[in-house]
Amino acid sequence: MLIKTFPMGLIGTNAYLLIDEESKEAVVIDIGGDFQVIKDEIEKENAKLKYILNTHGHFDHILGEKEAQEQTGVDVFVHENDRYLVENLPKQLEKFGFVSNAFPPQNIKTFTENNTFWIGKNEIKVIYTPGHTPGSVCFLTGKNLFSGDTLFYTSVGRTDFEGGSFAQLSDSITKKLFTLDDDITVYPGHDSKTTIGYEKKYNCYFGSKNLD
């Protein structure tokens, strides 16, 4: 499977394009800016976009999704507990001090932890990881975890926004993500990738080396 990273948008959010090389089915996770660069890559690989998935509903992860939806006709998915964030995109931008005429995608589809997505023979599992937002999730496919703003390289997502909870985030990371295999690569919503094993040792909040 091909995995391509596109830092984009107002604060450098990582959008991820996953393409199954056999079926040429594709999924994009968190389109936070101009969709055109991703669309160009999809066309270059002769792939067909199947889903637009979101790790959570914050504005910097969804800003390009109305455009993507209009150009492709593909459904936009978010956890049911974050649907309200996506629907209130203009208010989010105002709260964070941005002036924009952006509008949210339409006919938003929701999912829970019990749902699974597929591109070709690649299963994309939903791991429900509330804390950064009420509906934050991570997507696991093979040895690749797309962690949104739950887990970063040596750090974690903020919990001081509306709906955030450090207690929930702690449980999400220690009881769900840190039970995964150490060799799983973590692709976060911002900055550099890491691994589960590295974060279990060196994460500044939950790493064993920092808790000694």
Identify the segments of the chain with pLDDT beneath 70.
Answer: 99, 210-212
Give the model's pLDDT for residue 162.
87
Give the model's pLDDT for residue 212.
56
Please state which of the four CATH numbers 3.60.15.10, 3.40.50.300, 3.60.110.10, 3.40.50.12280 is assigned to the domain occupying 2-211: 3.60.15.10
Q: Over the stretch 40-52, which tens digit does the pLDDT of each residue have? A: 999 999 999 999 9
Cα–Cα distance, 128 to 69 (Å, whole number)? 24
What does the DSSP assignment read for 69-126?
A: HHHH-PPEEEEGGGHHHHHTHHHHHHHTT--------SS-EEE-TT-EEEETTEEEEE
Q: Where are the domains of the chain?
A: 2-211
Q: Are strands 137-141 and 122-128 parallel, antiparallel or unpaired?
A: antiparallel
Give the model's pLDDT for residue 143.
98
Give the model's pLDDT for residue 211.
61
